[in-house]
Amino acid sequence: MESKKDSKSIGKLRFTLQNTQNVQLPQLEHSLVGLCRRRTSAEMISEAKTFLTDVSPTTNTTTNHNQAASGMSSTNYLCFTLSNTLLLSFLVGGVRVVSTRRPITPRETGRVLYGKVTLPGRPPSAFSKILTRSNDLLGQSSTEKLIDMLKEHAGLKECTEETASHINSILTELYNRVRKNEKHFKKGFILGGLYGLVESSSAKILLAVARVVLALRVSGSNLTGACKLIFKVARSEQNDYLFYDSDLLELLIDGLGRASPLEDPEACIYGYGSIRFLTCSTVQERAELTTIKDFNRNWSEQFELPRKPSTAPNLGEGHTLQTDKQQKEFVEKLSKQDALVVRLSRHGAVQLMILHLQMLNEAGATQKLNGPPLHSLYQLSAALRALADVRQISSSLEQLENPNFNTTKIQLELACPHLVRAAEVTIGEIEVQANIVRTLSVLSEDPDCCHILTNFAGRIGMLLGPCCANFKSNQAEKLLSLISRLGYILGNIMAKYDNARIQFYHNDVAMEYLLNILEIYSKEPLTLHNSLGDTVVDVLIKMIRVLANMSVNSEVGFGLGNAQSLGNILMILLKASQQIKSIKMKQELQELTHATLGALHNLCFYQDKITSTPAHVIESKGSLQSVLSDLAAQLCSILKTNRDEVTQTEITRVLGNLTRNEKARKSFCKSKGLKLVVEILANDATRHLYDLKACTIGILVNLLGDMENRLPLIQLKGPEILLELLRDALQQHSDWFLATIISQAFWNLFIDTPHIEDVCSEVTLDELSDILAEYLDEEKILKNYNNESLPQMWEDFAIVSTDLLERLQSNYDQQSDSIVSLEASDFENDEDDVYIEGM
Looking at the structure, do residues 678 and 720 belong to the same domain, yes or no? no
What stretches of 182-240 show up as alpha helix (H) in DSSP? Answer: 187-194, 203-215, 221-234
Secondary structure, 3-state, 305-342:
CCCCCCCCCCCCCCCCCCCHHHHHHHHHHHHHHHHHHH
Half-sphere exposure of 811 (CA within 13 A, CB side): 22
Which residues neighbour 347 within 8 Å (Cβ) at sequence distance 6 or greater? 249, 250, 253, 254
Look at 397 and 134; give whichever has higher pLDDT. 397
- DSSP designation for 687: T
* Total number of domains constituting the chain: 4
Looking at the structure, do residues 593 and 631 belong to the same domain, yes or no? yes
Distance, CA of 378 to CA of 434 (rounded, Å): 9
Looking at the structure, do residues 739 and 815 belong to the same domain, yes or no? yes
Secondary structure, 3-state, 440-499:
HHHHCCCHHHHHHHHHHHHHHHHCHHHHHHCCCCCCHHHHHHHHHHHHHHHHHHHCCCHH
| Adjacent-strand bridge partners of 535 | 529
Looking at the structure, do residues 186 and 226 belong to the same domain, yes or no? yes
Look at 17 and 547; give whichever has higher pLDDT. 547
Distance, CA of 294 to CA of 316 (rounded, Å): 9
Rounded to whole angstroms, the maximal C-alpha distance in the chain is 218
pLDDT of residue 658: 94
Domain boundary among 286, 309, 332: 286
Looking at the structure, do residues 682 and 741 belong to the same domain, yes or no? no
Looking at the structure, do residues 669 and 796 belong to the same domain, yes or no? no
Looking at the structure, do residues 141 and 274 belong to the same domain, yes or no? yes
Looking at the structure, do residues 615 and 712 belong to the same domain, yes or no? no
Domain boundary among 234, 263, 286: 286
In-domain check, residue 547: no
Q: Are 423 and 436 in contact, with CB atoms under 8 Å apart? A: yes
In-domain check, residue 224: yes
Dihedral sign computed on CA atoms, order 200, 205, 206, 209:
negative
Distance, CA of 24 to CA of 48 (rounded, Å): 23
Each residue of 285-311: pLDDT tens digit? Answer: 333 333 333 333 333 332 233 333 333
In-domain check, residue 83: yes
- Secondary-structure percent of the chain, ordered helix, strand, coil, rounded to 5: 70, 0, 30
Share of the chain above pLDDT 70, in %: 72
In terms of residue numbers, what domain contains 792?
707-824
3-state class (DSSP) for residue 622: coil
Distance, CA of 705 to CA of 723 (rounded, Å): 19
Q: Are 245 and 211 in contact, with CB atoms under 8 Å apart? A: no
In-domain check, residue 675: yes
Looking at the structure, do residues 684 and 711 belong to the same domain, yes or no? no
Looking at the structure, do residues 628 and 661 belong to the same domain, yes or no? yes
Q: Which of 98-102, 335-339, 614-618, 794-798 has the highest mean pLDDT?
A: 794-798
Integer CA distances (angstroms), 65 to 61, 70, 80, 86, in order: 6, 9, 9, 16
Q: Indicate the Cα dihedral angle 600, 606, 608, 611, nearest 10°.
A: -100
Each residue of 432-451: pLDDT tens digit? Answer: 999 999 999 999 999 999 99
Distance, CA of 663 to CA of 661 (rounded, Å): 6
Distance, CA of 684 to CA of 689 (rounded, Å): 10
Domain boundary among 699, 721, 744: 699
| E strand or H helix at 548 | helix 536-550
Mean pLDDT rounded to a whole number for the chain: 78
pLDDT of residue 106: 57
Distance, CA of 792 to CA of 830 (rounded, Å): 58
Half-sphere exposure of 799 (CA within 13 A, CB side): 6
pLDDT of residue 578: 84
Closest among 548, 547, 542, 549 to 521, alpha carbons compared: 542
In-domain check, residue 340: no
Each residue of 160-193: pLDDT tens digit? Answer: 888 888 898 899 888 988 888 756 567 888 888 8
Each residue of 583-601: pLDDT tens digit? Answer: 778 888 999 999 999 999 9
Looking at the structure, do residues 34 and 173 belong to the same domain, yes or no? no
Which residues neighbour 71 within 8 Å (Cβ) at sequence distance 6 or greater? none
Looking at the structure, do residues 146 and 165 belong to the same domain, yes or no? yes
Rg of the chain, C-alpha, whole Å: 50
In-domain check, residue 755: yes
At 173, the amino acid letter reads E
What stretches of 280-415 show up as alpha helix (H) in DSSP? Answer: 283-293, 324-346, 349-366, 372-401
In-domain check, residue 487: no
Look at 333 and 775; give whichever has higher pLDDT. 775
Residue 215's pLDDT band (boundaries 50, 70, 90)? very high
In-domain check, residue 458: no
Closest among 789, 783, 697 to 743, alpha carbons compared: 697
Each residue of 102-152: pLDDT tens digit? Answer: 555 555 555 554 544 445 555 555 545 444 445 566 766 777 888 888 888
Ranges 228-242, 785-799, 806-820: which has the least confidence? 806-820
pLDDT of residue 52: 65
